[in-house]
Amino acid sequence: MSIKRPRFDQPRPSEITPRELFESRRLFMQQLALGGIAGAGLINNAFADPALARLAARANPAYIAKDKPTSYSDATSYNNFYEFGTDKGDPVQTAHSLKPRPWTVRIDGEVKKPLTLDIDSLLKLAPLEERLYRLRCVEGWSMAIPWIGYSLAELIRKVEPTGNAKYVEFISLADPRQMPGISSRVLDWPYVEGLRIDEANHPLALLCVGMYGQVLPNQNGAPVRVVVPWKYGFKSAKSIVQIRFTETQPKTAWNKSAPEEYGFYSNVNPDVDHPRWSQGSERRIGEDGFFKKKRKTLMFNGYPEVASLYAGMDLKKFY
């Protein structure tokens, strides 16, 4: 695929805090505040935010990656959420302005039973599960996070898509009063993402309402997002206000901004590089230091059960 120069209003890699510098600075501050004490286990209680409501969810052993969970502090302080700034450390500093309640999500389009649900109704739609999923971002970093939610397919069944429904579009909140990054021109707001309907119906695709035993922090996409673990992180839309079923492929935010760099499918694929970042290897945040050898990127992020969705497709063409 051809290389496209970033738009003038997109941040250059040199303008974003280097990961190693950010991590070392953050680690120093954590150790200073906590006296060097580190928590352990699936939920790192030393870093959990007591202001966030707890969620009761059963661990589903069918969806537990064999990875060491990323610490809560790392997962909530190193984020891509451009509505709150383009630097990885911006969301944790600025997302306090987001008001996750009251909140409603409209589900409409090519469905027989359109719905508008508040966040409490979404929480009760199906039994909540805890699933330890990897999240791999296009810049070359990854995490392993215990998410809370249920298969997106549960919601899809409720609204009964028509025969015309070929895709599912996710539309995020775009409110400049709550989201300071909306004033920038880095993307065409609101943030839009999409999946083919068979992808959305795969049991791995998660409608997510929490992480680490509690509701989602604002900087991680409160109060509801999706998590699609075999795709790059930007496919997992955050702070969703509308889910729309369509006959045509949605025009997604990053694909509109730079189609040569961000394809609609965006499956994690070590054989298809981004023009500015290799996808053959990655660093796990909190584990893989600057001088440690990078780990090999796994096809579909290590979720081979989704391969049948793409049988016969040229994954270098449909990247």
Domains of the chain, residue spans: 13-310
Say which amino acid occupies 251.
K
What burial class does residue 74 get, using C-beta atoms within 10 Å of its C-beta: 0-12 exposed, 13-18 middle, 19+ buried? buried
pTM for the predicted model, two decimal places: 0.86
pLDDT at 288: 79
Q: Which CATH number fits domain 13-310: 3.90.740.10, 1.10.10.60, 3.90.420.10, 2.60.40.10?
A: 3.90.420.10
pLDDT at 45: 38
In which band, very low, low, confident or very high, does the pLDDT at 293 lie, cut at 50, 70 and 90?
confident
Q: Degrees (nearest 5) of the Cα angle 310, 312, 314?
A: 80
What is the pLDDT of the chain when averaged over all its residues? Answer: 87
What burial class does residue 137 get, using C-beta atoms within 10 Å of its C-beta: 0-12 exposed, 13-18 middle, 19+ buried? buried
Q: How far is CA 33 from CA 26, 37, 95, in A?
A: 11, 9, 21
The CA radius of gyration of the chain, in Å to the nearest whole number, is: 19
Across residues 188-209, what is the average pLDDT? 98
pLDDT at 47 exceeding the cut of 80: no
What is the Cα–Cα distance from 263 to 265, expressed in whole angstroms? 6
- pLDDT, tens digit, 9 for 90 and up, residues 221-235: 999 999 999 999 999
The residue ranking higher by pLDDT, 147 or 36, is: 147
